[in-house]
């Protein structure tokens, strides 16, 4: 009686076993994917929301920190100028990095070090800018509160200016966070424009009140 080649039978059995294992693995992967997909889709927005809150909450605390009248001295008001913040706009200028890359001995570590230093400077500027805006805003509120005329229109304007400044700061913070992972654009211009607008508004209120 012919029983066939044992090696061929063993080969067929091995092949069938491998195919069964592959089929089981594909089935398990499909089941796992279908079951986990809703969970993953739920976790992604939650993670994004959590990161956004972790970034936004400290910003809001800075923006709406109470500023005492003692911080607003006549000397500070006389010396204040929004122009001191203009360098913020060029901290990650491509020209500086191109110049650095053309210097002898340049390597990637120098590039990374310069970026870290510039981003650190940006954060220092940003903290001071928020503080100065709050001082100007508080000074304007104090003047309006002690004024004899009803200037509810200016009060409303100050509120909206604060809102616009807050949005500009949030935008700047997000751009800063993106720069930490490799992006090259820092959003500073809108904040500086709102600061200049606040400074001009305070000057207008002051001249009206003491006219």
Compute the distance between CA of residue 132 and CA of residue 140 in angstroms, rounded to an integer.
Answer: 12
- Interval 93-103: pLDDT, tens: 888 778 877 77
What residue ranges of the chain have pLDDT lower than 70?
1-21, 23-56, 209-211
Predicted local confidence at residue 3, as pLDDT: 46
Predicted local confidence at residue 53, as pLDDT: 58
Compute the distance between CA of residue 111 and CA of residue 99 in angstroms, rounded to an integer.
Answer: 11
CA-based nearest residue to 195, from 133, 152, 139 = 133
CA-based nearest residue to 204, from 165, 127, 147, 123 = 147
Write the DSSP string, 125-178.
HHHHHHHHHHHHHHHHHHHHHT-SS--HHHHHHHHHHHHHHHHHHHHHHHHHHH
Sign (positive/negative) of CA torsion 48, 51, 52, 53?
Answer: positive
């Amino acid at each position: 009686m012919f029983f066939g080649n044992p090696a061929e039978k063993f080969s067929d059995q091995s092949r069938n076993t491998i195919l069964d294992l592959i089929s089981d693995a594909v089935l398990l992967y499909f089941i796992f994917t279908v079951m986990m997909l809703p969970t993953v889709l739920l976790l992604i927005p939650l993670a994004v929301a959590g990161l956004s809150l972790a970034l936004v909450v400290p910003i809001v605390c800075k923006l709406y920190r109470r500023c005492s009248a003692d911080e607003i001295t006549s000397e500070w008001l006389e010396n204040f100028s929004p122009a001191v913040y203009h360098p913020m706009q060029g901290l990650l200028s491509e020209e500086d990095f191109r110049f650095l890359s053309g210097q002898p001995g340049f390597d990637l570590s120098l590039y990374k070090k310069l970026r870290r230093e510039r981003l650190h400077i940006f954060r220092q500027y940003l903290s001071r800018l928020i503080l100065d805006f709050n001082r100007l805003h508080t000074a304007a509120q104090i003047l309006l509160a002690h004024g004899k005329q009803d200037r509810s229109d200016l009060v409303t304007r100050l509120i909206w200016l604060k809102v616009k400044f807050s949005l500009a700061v949030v935008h700047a913070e997000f751009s800063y966070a993106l720069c930490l992972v490799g992006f090259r654009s820092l959003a500073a211009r809108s904040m500086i424009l709102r600061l200049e607008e606040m400074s001009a508004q305070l000057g207008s209120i002051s001249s009206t009140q003491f006219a």
